[in-house]
Amino acid sequence: MTNPSPSELEVAQLIVETLNLEDIQAEEIESQMPLFRDGLGLDSIDALELSLGIKQRYGIQLKADDENITAIFSSLASLTKFIQDNR
């Protein structure tokens, strides 16, 4: 179990707020927890909503046809790194 860094916690809070997750707190999302399927349980609609939230907050455009999209959304840590690298 890895606790999120301050940057990861900021992105986790964005996930919780954007997707209106009522059953989980940002602090409960672990750095390496998968965001989809067996992890946080997000689906493709959640990915679209989250992409919009990232664009609104950080001005970063995520495209569905990006060859790295699966890796970017694989965990809180990878999503946070993508945001930091593209700010």
Contacts of 61 (CB under 8 A, 6+ apart): 55
CA angle 62/63/64 to nearest 5° reads 125
Is the pLDDT at 1 greater than 80? The verdict is no
The CATH number assigned to the domain holding 45 equals 1.10.1200.10
How many structural domains comprise the chain? 1
In a domain, 1, yes or no: no
> Against a cut of 0.85, is the pTM above it?
yes
CA dist., res. 26 & res. 11, Å (int): 8
Tens-place pLDDT, residues 17-69: 999 999 999 999 999 989 998 889 999 899 999 999 999 999 999 988 889 99
Provide the domain limits for residue 55. Answer: 6-86
